[in-house]
Structure 1
């Protein structure tokens, strides 16, 4: 806990962002942080795993570190505003109790499901007040501001988990075409296999040019970007579980060891062996 307080820049980040011409958004850099995303304005569909969420004012999204996610802007000329929080899950674990797990809404659900919460006007007002307090404490240099910053964040997590508990096991109807949903499932289940366009167009019986356009339209990314992200996420999991770097490379479908090392380092910020050593020290 003391180390997390000393390094709050990495353990807990708060950003209230406004943009009028949002550019191309790549998948978020691979990290082990969890994310809370609060949507205020814009014309955005948000892609998470195998789901596409069209957003409206006050939508709240929650993502853990292994969930592939990114905004897909439907209009480039509108005002785009959101509040985004990234946090180290160990910070939340330190404040959880046996009766109330602050990470339950992130961990106790199927990956890529129940990410979005639709808030009532009163709930939107309540969460906006928490964000305003976080923003004030984050910007102040007064004694104790960092403590109040974390305390307000913990209050936010309690609020979100109560929302999650109240919404039950509601599963939203998917917006993705069935062919794309099938393709995403196939990729997830066959990361160690050949996933070239030659193979994938046969999986869904669709011309590759049309398939690539359809994929880009609904997810905002290319098929190649998606596969790389999923392979690196799987490699990180294998390394945390004690798999050797060589075996991880093969099990996620990289045929070239040097390319795996280079790609992993670019995506994660550390080479695989160093990442594994770091995880063992945590």
Structure 2
């Protein structure tokens, strides 16, 4: 049972993008799995919900389901990273009373404390572990899966112990003082009117300036962010039993066909297909 869940729900890869500012446009990411993101090289500012982090090699980011995130580039240096995704169900296989491996994901506010406050030695140890897992995953041999599980559990224990250490100072992140209250308002009013005109009147800010500071912060448009946030909310409603039409209405879509089109673009599924595969 465990090996079956592992093979289905665990992915890990190392990737490098050469001259990223010339060759790739990064979209927002929104998924239903836990993620460990290890930054190896490049010039990257990483946006998660309402916060941004200027990354340095060895930084480790932790994203849980529903946390919107995105990389933007500050230089054309080769962008290298290790990305590991795994399901909520997989971590639950190793749960114990008082020592859940999901502690580092669940015991914090949504979109906060995403960067692990690790020392240089801890970063090196964790990078070495995940590098080995990438190799084991890339070149399958007998007993590789069991070895990967053992290494993954050891890495998750280290990550949780670092996260739970309250003697460490909190990690700095960037906030745009004018942007944060607007993003908080958007989160709280996904079912309402979030047009530029409405936001201009609410916050006494010109639409052009709002779009400018959002683009500078995230590398994407405000409209794209709102769509992703609405789809994130719709996914939650669908899994709670709401109909697609009802979820569409509750998430601020005035046209059902536009909702279905946006949902498929973000998730790769229609609402019906998404529920079916999520509950399978």
Aligned counterparts of 2:170 and 2:266: Cα–Cα separation in 1: 31
Aligned counterparts of 1:234 and 1:143: Cα–Cα separation in 2: 42
- Residue in structure 2 matched with residue 20 of structure 1 by the alignment: 18
- Residue in structure 2 matched with residue 156 of structure 1 by the alignment: 155
Secondary structure of 2:65's aligned partner:
coil
CA 1:173 to 1:58, structure 2 compared with 1: closer, same or farther past 3 Å?
Answer: closer
**2:278 matched to 1:279?**
yes
Aligned counterparts of 1:118 and 1:43: Cα–Cα separation in 2: 20
Aligned counterparts of 1:246 and 1:31: Cα–Cα separation in 2: 21
CA 1:110 to 1:161, structure 2 compared with 1: closer, same or farther past 3 Å?
Answer: same
How many Å apart are 1:82 and its aligned residue?
1.4
Question: Within 5 A, what are the aligned runs for 1:173-252?
Answer: 174-252=173-251
Alpha-carbon RMSD across the aligned residues, in angstroms, is: 1.8
How many Å apart are 1:80 and its aligned residue?
1.6
Whether the 8 Å contact between 1:113 and 1:171 is mirrored in structure 2 is: no
**2:63 matched to 1:63?**
yes
Secondary structure of 2:254's aligned partner:
coil
- Residue in structure 2 matched with residue 73 of structure 1 by the alignment: 73
Aligned counterparts of 1:266 and 1:189: Cα–Cα separation in 2: 23
Aligned counterparts of 2:3 and 2:146: Cα–Cα separation in 1: 12
How many Å apart are 1:138 and its aligned residue?
1.0
For residues 167-190 of structure 1, give each alpha carbon's deviation from its aligned partner in whole angstroms, at most 9, with x where no partner exists.
Answer: 469655552222100110110011
Count the aligned residue pairs.
276
Aligned counterparts of 1:2 and 1:145: Cα–Cα separation in 2: 11
How many Å apart are 1:147 and its aligned residue?
1.9
Whether the 8 Å contact between 2:214 and 2:221 is mirrored in structure 1 is: yes
TM-score between the two structures when normalised by the length of structure 2: 0.92
Aligned counterparts of 1:241 and 1:255: Cα–Cα separation in 2: 21
Whether the 8 Å contact between 1:58 and 1:118 is mirrored in structure 2 is: no
Secondary structure of 2:154's aligned partner:
helix
TM-score between the two structures when normalised by the length of structure 1: 0.92
Secondary structure of 2:91's aligned partner:
helix
Mean CA deviation greater in 15-24 or 167-176? 167-176
Aligned counterparts of 1:127 and 1:205: Cα–Cα separation in 2: 46
How many Å apart are 1:2 and its aligned residue?
4.7
How many Å apart are 1:35 and its aligned residue?
0.7
**4+ runs of 1 displaced by more than 6 Å?**
none
- Residue in structure 2 matched with residue 42 of structure 1 by the alignment: 42
Aligned counterparts of 1:79 and 1:101: Cα–Cα separation in 2: 36
Aligned counterparts of 2:78 and 2:46: Cα–Cα separation in 1: 16
Secondary structure of 1:36's aligned partner:
strand
For residues 148-206 of structure 1, give each alpha carbon's deviation from its aligned partner in whole angstroms, at most 9, with x where no partner exists.
Answer: 12221122111111111014696555522221001101100110011111111222222
Mean CA deviation greater in 265-274 or 81-90? 265-274
How many Å apart are 1:99 and its aligned residue?
3.3
Whether the 8 Å contact between 1:58 and 1:119 is mirrored in structure 2 is: no
How many Å apart are 1:267 and its aligned residue?
1.4
CA 1:224 to 1:168, structure 2 compared with 1: closer, same or farther past 3 Å?
Answer: farther
Secondary structure of 1:116's aligned partner:
coil
